Copies of this chain bind each other. A is one copy, B any other.
Amino acid sequence: MGTTAKDAAASRLTGAPSWLLTQAALHASQLASEGFANAGARGDHYRLLAVLAEFGPASQAALGRRSCLDRSDVVAAVNELEAGGLVERTPDSSDRRRNVVTITTAGARQLQRLDEVLFGVQDELLARLSAHERGELVRLLTRILDRHEGG
């Protein structure tokens, strides 16, 4: 918060689920960004590597849909991953609009490293929650998201 003195936050905020969500998400993002940065990566790099490992080589458009990244952000992230030798980008001979992006062995190694980073981050974030509570949290959040993905 940048300053020394402390003040209580307004109860209208601390009691509102949407406020609590954004604050908790902010902590999560900061922890994750910091951890990823220590490994020379960013969140979108992790997302793309994870999607490539789970679904195999794909066009950039498919990667964007599976990782929930915007098409234009995929371009930049794949550029960076390619420059680091973590993915390869080759033209698709069966559809010349597309690039096929493939994860390399170095990329798979990096993904494993980032998985460990993320595991540590979650553990710090949820330090005060029991295993059962963590499951409950995942269940509740998944339910909220179903509402907005499923219609």
Binding site for B on A (CB under 8 A): 1-3, 5-18, 20-29, 31-32, 47, 50-51, 53-55, 61-62, 64-68, 70-71, 115, 118, 121-122, 125-129, 133-134, 136-138, 140-148
Contacts and interface: CB of A to CB of B under 8 A. Distances in A.
Given A8-B66, A125-B144, A143-B128, A16 B134 contact: no
Given A65-B7, A66-B10, A15 B128 contact: no
Majority secondary structure of chain A interface residues (helix, strand, loop or mixed): helix
Contacts of A147: 125, 127-128
Determine how many copies of this chain the complex contains.
Answer: 2
Given A17-B126, A18-B28, 12 more contacts: A2-B71, A7-B62, A10-B54, A12-B53, A15-B138, A17-B28, A20-B137, A20-B141, A23-B68, A125-B147, A127-B147, A128-B146
Contacts of A51: 9-10
